[in-house]
Amino acid sequence: MRILLSILILLTSFPVFAEEILDTNSLKITNAWARATIGDVNTSAVYMTITNTTNEPKTIVAVKTSVAEVNEIHSTMKQNGVMQMRSIGSITIPANDTIELKPGGLHIMLMQLYKKLKVSENIFVELKMTDGKKAVVEAAIKHPY
């Protein structure tokens, strides 16, 4: 009876722990890295290459890490001769195409860091898609220059 009750509790609790993970064959994420922090700097950025191997566009609508209070998708653009960063809310990867998150372009901005990001450590970045599915990416922390 105890075993049956334990199994019943486990089965009814399962959806709480279940999470739909993005099929890793639909997005190929490579070269993920984050800038190490220097001195009292309380921000960093994450970069990566994302290839959509499907016949439909995929849109990343949210990002999350355990190292920063604020995690946003940003673009960098030149406006009136001045480089500016701006939160853009989402990134769409066209069908059968590749986009690159890189310094001076699209990137994931980490603000209000909980800790210093040190070279040779890794962080995990969760990418949430419009359909609710998620992909978790491991990013190596590297020198910022």
Residue 13 located in a structural domain? no
The whole-angstrom separation of Cα 90 and Cα 61 is 4
Residue 107 located in a structural domain? yes
What residues have CB less than 8 Å from 64, skipping those under 6 apart? Answer: 71, 125, 126, 128
Q: Compute CA distances 126 → 31, 43, 70, 108, 139, whole Å.
A: 15, 18, 13, 11, 11
Give the count of domains, the chain: 1
Residue 101 located in a structural domain? yes
What pLDDT was estimated at residue 22?
52
Tell me which H or E stretch contains 17.
helix 2-17
Residue 128 located in a structural domain? yes
Residue 2 located in a structural domain? no
What pLDDT was estimated at residue 23?
56
Task: Tell me which residue range forms the domain holding 116.
Answer: 20-142
Dump pLDDT digits (tens) for 62-115.
999 999 999 999 998 878 888 888 999 999 999 999 999 999 999 999 999 999
Structure tokens at 25: 């064959």
DSSP string for residues in 76-106 = EEEETTEEEEEE-S-EEE-TTEEEEE-TTSS
* CATH number of the structural domain spanning residue 45: 2.60.40.1890
Dump pLDDT digits (tens) for 10-48.
333 333 333 444 555 688 999 999 999 999 999 999 999
